Structure 1
């Protein structure tokens, strides 16, 4: 091939590596011929989707020949009523990843900066670099966000700050007071993206409610998803909340029909199924206790988490442990891409799935 297509691509894209998703169970089955696989790699809901969501999906299948409502009127109405928001504050996304990219496309370009934490979600630097902007990676504090250092990193060129709360992949959580002190230091022209993909899981008493705080801070954008606690990862639907001017700008770069009619119907049903969400949260809290007790018994250290996953320290090359667990039919997530080569992130599953992991880990470390 004589043409250098890499040289023709945007400079920011040239420096990127593709996002590495968790290994699918089907792939492990093809590779090793293993059956009865437990996948604890992608922070999915082990309950499966709400039965109400499944019924909603079935009810709209006959309309697959038609384009979805591009503006998502009814889903926005449901979100507005559930969270006491105005419809003109809402942007719908093909999962919350899509919304992070919309923020980058709307506000980042060559010559400006975006700030994010050392161990924060890997998509932040990806969307920043793809837009040609400069990423400013701030060292973490106790595997979480050092808000003082992040505020200190703001310059005249800063346009966006990305914060995950709870944080992925470490499971740490900010307090409401700390976040408000941070926002008081941030100039209004700097947008703060508060990524609350795992907010439903935390039981920390003093956790910031990003949706409510958008009424206080004009420069706050909050993103949430239906992929985790609502069990709709395959359908890809999320939403962002911001002031109406920012929301209008995000919708200018949003692709039409980015959320399917199937996803919209499922999201509305899942949002209304409060009992399902309560079961999800209850199962997760039981699983967190089970996992922590099991790791203590195995003398394996971990980062305290308030999310639906827990990150463990293997005290050796985690890829070796990861590969050995694969041979036991258990898929977890190595964190070398996060510059955490000794750590594995483990999704909390059902009681049986959690025990499968703990039993497999015991064999591996022995």
Structure 2
């Protein structure tokens, strides 16, 4: 007897297309039989783990038969000290992606509307659809968030506004005064999530004091991650900062033991290793400047970025992406983000970036 599982599934799931991550190195090795591959597709930290994180992981392996600390006590204590907030304001997740999912599961229902930028992190659209809510994708302004248009889109059905700052995949950035003026105009019953996955890469003098804003705006919450500047993408750990009341609701929905022991130990140790973070940021700044000079010299349009990636207009993007794969260089096509004529390139080590530039020149000469 055949069962129509589509008829049984939630309506928001049947039309959903799974998130497409950057192509893994192992997959390209299998497909093309090549090695010495450079991956500049997933905005990972090219420096590898910090020494303190490695040591913490080694120590944590001795107790892996036990469940992890479900409340993440030590990580929350360390975060609260750095962020100058209360541990009751923190929600931990399997990457910031999961805390976003927890937020949607807690507050977004069928019939609600969610506002985000048309070129923002695609997970916002996926979570909106799976929640049975309606997406209001606002056209970008110079590849970034049009805050006035977002405000104009708010109505009685609006439940949540998602703002990535810096934005992925464009790297554009909203200055603190822009965000503060925006938050003052958002109705209190509309929640705003400020996705700061790339927060550490923003120059200190330009960073928003977003955690301090939580006292003024109880409808605000902030997500951050250890996957980028802290180099823990493979361990999947992130967190959300909010009012204690909001965190209490989120932690009712959060799965028990959602952060594993190795991730908790490594993240706690990484917070102490600020030298590693500073080296990561310094490398990113110097190599980002080199990318900008390279694209400018080649007459290639690019979007100025404050993340650890840069997006460039390269046509035909799909053909160039495939040709780069054959050269052993993985970048990220972003047609799914409404940008079919662009590729996103993560900032790697100098020698990895050299490989990309050499490969791109070869590809462009072949396509001309």
Within 2, Cα distance between the matches of 1:219 and 1:258?
Answer: 25
Mapping of residues 260-271 of structure 1, within 5 Å:
260-271=260-271
Which residue in 1 is equivalent to 2:360?
361
After TM superposition, give the deviation of residue 215 of structure 1 in Å.
2.4
Task: Compute the RMSD of aligned alpha carbons.
Answer: 1.0
Q: d(CA) in 2 for partners of 1:15 and 1:139?
A: 23
1:205 to partner: Cα distance: 3.8
Q: Distance in 1 between matches of 2:364 and 2:230?
A: 34
**Unmatched 5+ residue regions in structure 2?**
none
Q: Do 1:94 and 1:258's aligned partners in 2 also have CA atoms closer than 8 Å?
A: yes
Task: Give the deviation of 1:224 after TM superposition.
Answer: 0.2
After TM superposition, the structure 1 = structure 2 runs for residues 168-247 of structure 1, keeping only pairs within 5 Å, are 168-203=168-203, 205-247=205-247
Partner of 1:112: 112
Matched, 1:150 2:146: no
1:296, CA displacement in angstroms? Answer: 1.6
1:46-125 residue pairs with structure 2 within 5 A? 46-125=46-125
3-state SS, counterpart of residue 240 of structure 1: strand
Residue in 2 aligned with 1:329? 328
1:346 to 2:345 alignment: yes
Shift of 1:141: 0.4
Give CA-to-partner distance per residue, 1:75-126, whole Å, 9 cap, x none: 1000001111100100000000001101100001111111111100000011
Distance 1:30 1:148 in 2: 48
CA distance in 1, matches of 2:321, 2:340: 11
TM-score scaled to structure 1, two decimals?
A: 0.98
The residue number in structure 2 matching 1:312 is: 312
1:239-318 paired onto structure 2 within 5 Å: 239-314=239-314, 316-318=315-317
User: Once the 2 structures are TM-superposed, how far is the Cα of residue 346 of structure 1 from its aligned partner?
Assistant: 0.2
Name structure 1 gaps, 5 residues minimum: none
The separation in 1 between residues aligned to 2:92 and 2:12, in whole angstroms, is 26
Deviations 1:292-348 (A, max 9, x none): 11112222110011110000001x231100000001100000001111111000000
Distance 1:86 1:59 in 2: 28
* Inter-partner Cα distance in structure 1 for 2:364 and 2:200: 33
CA distance in 1, matches of 2:363, 2:6: 42
| Distance in 1 (alpha carbons) for counterparts of 2:201 and 2:82 | 17
Rounded Cα–Cα distance in structure 2 between residues aligned with 1:263 and 1:206? 29
Cα deviation for residue 204 of structure 1 reads 7.2
Provide TM-score, normalisation by structure 2: 0.98
Q: Distance in 2 between matches of 1:181 and 1:74?
A: 35
